[in-house]
Amino acid sequence: MDNHVSTYFSERRKEWKKKTGQNSWLVFKIMAEFVEGFEKMSEIGPCVSVFGSARTQPGTPYYELSTEIAHKLTEAGFGIITGGGPGIMQAGNEGAHKGGGASVGLNIELPFETHSNPYIDPDKNINFNYFFVRKVMFIKYSQGFVVLPGGFGTLDELFEALTLIQTRKIDKFPVVLVGSAFWSGLIDWIKEVLLKQEGNISAEDLLLFTVVDSADEVVEYISHFYNKHMLKPNF
């Protein structure tokens, strides 16, 4: 490469607009979140995570169903973990609170969700700045994922879990989608496009999750799984 060409490419090379060396100090903030999360979560005991939209209003069918699911899971001996915010998350914590079980909130600081819901146990209300740290806590300490209708965040948590189970980075644990009417379109697309049309997944990957419509089905599926498997952190 002659000097003219070298000069041309060096002039086009992208650079940071400001120095980024100070970002290395973020490592200590991230480490602190991991340490706090691990210490608090390890003391709580086996829990099931409940996911779903922050926009679901109290009194609506999925809100009430989430409350019932969480209540019945606490009666089966599990605590409940949610993202700590409103909507389905609040419903999950409300059900745990009513059932007398551990009610955990893994809160993330967002501009449009300014506070945690009131049903989280005060000593189990954990705040995070970083989504990826928070997601590690969900994956490590949840004995099951119960996924109600939600948006991008809900789908993110769902597919994170399925990917880690599929790639055997963690052991299999129950992933339960609640609401067949809501999930049917996505499931059809997974079967027809991902599996049959493109071959991007295997047929056995469809066994990584189940779809149900009632609280009793959720509890039965998770309880049946742990009749055969040990309760333990996922990694």
The pLDDT value given to residue 29: 92
Q: What pLDDT sits at residue 9?
A: 57
Domains of the chain, each with CATH number or no CATH: 45-90+98-226 (3.40.50.450)
Span 68-97, average pLDDT: 98
Residues 131-147: what's their mean pLDDT?
A: 97
Which parts of 103-233 are beta strand (E)? 103-108, 125-128, 142-147, 175-178, 210-212
The confidence band for 20, taking pLDDT boundaries of 50, 70 and 90, is low
Distance CA 74, CA 70 (A): 6
The predicted model gives 88-94 an average pLDDT of 98
Q: Quick one: pLDDT at residue 2?
A: 63
Residue 90 has pLDDT above 70, yes or no: yes
**Predicted structure pTM score:** 0.91
pLDDT of residue 110: 77
In whole angstroms, give the CA distance from residue 28 to residue 25: 6
